Structure 1
Amino acid sequence: MDAALLDLLRSVDTPTVCNAIEVAQGKRGFNDFTRGTMQCSAPGQAMVGYARTARIQAVTPPSEAPEVIKARRMAYYKYMAEGPRPAVAAVQDMDVPNAIGAYWGEVNTNIHKAFGLAGALTDGVMRDLGDLPDGFPVVAGSIGPSHGFVHVLDFDIEVEICGMSVAPGALIHADRHGGVVIPDDIVPRLAEAIAQLFASEKIVFEAVKDKRISFAEFETAWAAFEASRT
């Protein structure tokens, strides 16, 4: 991904990316996105990056020996510190729908930001909302006060976050609306698709925003809008 495309993706919201994927594919029906309402620590920010995946658990203590848990934790951090950039941490909480362990708080967000990650996408819990670092948005399934017995189960495997499957290395875009996985074959056409999407939407916006129009005027604008999308 070149710098211009990265800057463009950082500047648009996730619904725009979903629509642009359909423009690039020339059809509706793309469905590789999260379901349900998610929480966002930084509503005005979008994260873009290649997925670094893991699974966690927190409701019950780990059953393995402490040295095993500690070794896995450090291996996880090494994995997160490496790999292509930009990157996004995509972490599935295996306690969902009863997740209680806020893995994403002040400590872990600062660590992952220092590793060069662009943000975190999880179906689990976040906390410390007033103390999270700037420039590292977290999009999570819920907000809660405790970390419980949170521990890493495994990493570098396919995960599922709010109904969306995420393979290691998948290109993710996420913001306060949720997340989407961008198909690899769409990437070369994505900037053009976003430009086409904006151009077609502009036809409607120029006709209706801050105006009072008749149905006949709307019908003309809508016909032009439909024509621009075909």
Structure 2
Amino acid sequence: MKAPFVDIHTHNPSRSSHISVVSAFLGDDVADAEGPFSVGVHPWHSDTPIAELERRFAPYLDRAVAIGEVGLDRAISIPIEQQAALLAAQLDIAQKHQLPVVVHCVRAYSDLLPIIKRYKEVAYILHGFYANPKQLADLLPYRTYFSMGIRELQRPNGTAIVRSIPAHRLFLETDDGPASIAEVYDAAAKAIGTDITKLRELLYRSYTNLFK
């Protein structure tokens, strides 16, 4: 029996046989969620008060498999210091409850790295990953995983990046795009030069190890 496709980060709930980690926003109703989900406050919403954060997370924490998506984004007008404070507050919750985090990072890897160093025990899934070789090398010593979607794979350096990520640290995603997870796997398998069945088995093993 083939291993299922794992869609590590998506905003498109699926009732298929694939494993899809659906990204929910803090405050969303997940009562009817049938599969795994993450929950967090996106950096675009960094005006969210920190004081009541853990209380607001509490109803989700018995079912959520991860915190996220959270992170830093230098393409928006919210001060990076404000974003970093919210991120740290959510990492405190992730660390306390031993949950991995799904990270949104745009033009802010130099800001993110010192925070990761402070929270070394947390496992990070950097979604939509697209960075230069030095940034990847700087992140690899920590509990980091790197997820790519069709957009990243089709960008100019997408093939080089996916080949540079250690196989056991790679995930794939659909995010909010129209491509199916099968299409993403097909593109990644071709870029890496591997069989799609082997890729499914590898990423499923990584998933079960991370979310055990």
Q: Do these two structures clear the TM 0.5 threshold for a shared fold by scoring above it?
A: no
RCO greater where, 1 or 2, for CA within 8 Å and sep 6 or more? 1
Compare the two structures and name the one with the higher strand fraction: 1
Where on the TM-score scale, by shorter chain, does this alignment land: which range? Answer: 0.3 to 0.5
TM (norm. structure 2) is 0.35
